Amino acid sequence: MDLDLSGRCFLVTGASKGLGFATARALVDEGANVVVSSSSEDNTAAAVAALGDNARGLAADLTDPGTPRRLIDYAREQFGRLDGLFVSHGGPPAGVASELDDDTLRRGLEIAAIAPIRIAREVAAELGEGGSIVVLTSTSGAQPLTGLASSNVARPATQGFVKDLANEIGSRGVRINALLPGTFETERALELAAKNPAAREKSINAAALRRVGDPAELGAVAAFLLSPKASYVTGAAWTVDGGRRAGM
């Protein structure tokens, strides 16, 4: 399917690796231009090199309040336009609810709620009709995950914001959706698996497809949601988890 993305420009944060990079790859393969960002200059440069001529990169810390404006201005400087945003970011620290102290809670909210909400809000204000945003959250936004208390707190907050903002910007023809990934073969997933291999095995066995996802599979869904082909889709949370969630 041609997603009608040729010539459009998207910001992709957390894009040097994992699901962010997979989404940037899917967008570029559909003919879009991308500005990729991560907190590491070296990793950002490597991502740009791998993506080719349709990519530019700007290293930036998503938790820095000045980052959204820097990225918006850079995209317009490089490609002359801005059509959308994919928000990926680092995951909040693992831990159980009884040990969720104030500092850990604040850090988790900063990473998984405040920073993505900030950039989504600021980019939404810049987009015209046909603009689209996808915010990566987690299945913990719909169903709490054992040992990820910080995520269980932050993700529903982000998804509540996505729904609220969708209602505000829809009249301008701008869309926003949340994307809830399950277990994918990323560095983050491997890091969590090393700490709790039994939880990873349980997650795989709970999935209807009985396997871990390929990041490209999520990238394809993200590219579709960002595209004009999904023009009547907004304010929704889309689960891509191989059928792991107990509910629909």
| Alpha-carbon gap, residue 180 to 139, rounded angstroms | 5
pLDDT above 90 as % of the chain = 66
Tokens of 109: 């909210």
The string of pLDDT tens digits covering residues 188-215 is 767 766 777 777 777 777 788 888 899 9
Helix (H) / strand (E) containing 238 = strand 237-240
> Which residue is associated with the tokens 């040990």?
99
The per-residue pLDDT for 192 is 67
Cβ count within 10 A of residue 164: 11
The per-residue pLDDT for 204 is 78
The per-residue pLDDT for 141 is 67
Q: What is the pTM of this model?
A: 0.91
The per-residue pLDDT for 96 is 83
Q: Cα–Cα distances in Å, from 169 out to 56, 65, 120, 136?
A: 28, 22, 12, 19
132 neighbors 175 (Cβ within 8 angstroms): yes
Residue 85 bridge partners (DSSP): 11, 133
244 neighbors 221 (Cβ within 8 angstroms): no
Map out the domains of the chain with their CATH numbers. 9-186+215-239 (3.40.50.720)
The DSSP annotation for 196-220 comes to: -HHHHHHHHHHSTT-SPBPHHHHHH
- Exposed (0-12), middle (13-18) or buried (19+): which is 198, by Cβ within 10 Å? exposed
Of 143-157, 159-173, 187-201, give the lowest mean pLDDT range: 187-201
> φ and ψ at 132, to 5 degrees?
-145, 145
The string of pLDDT tens digits covering residues 32-90 is 999 999 999 999 999 999 999 999 999 999 999 999 999 999 999 999 999 999 999 87
Contacts of 14 (CB under 8 A, 6+ apart): 20, 37, 38, 62, 87, 88, 89, 90, 136
Checking if the pLDDT of 245 tops 90, the result is no
Q: Mark out the alpha helices in 55-174 (DSSP H runs).
A: 67-79, 102-109, 115-126, 149-169
Better pLDDT: 85 or 94: 85
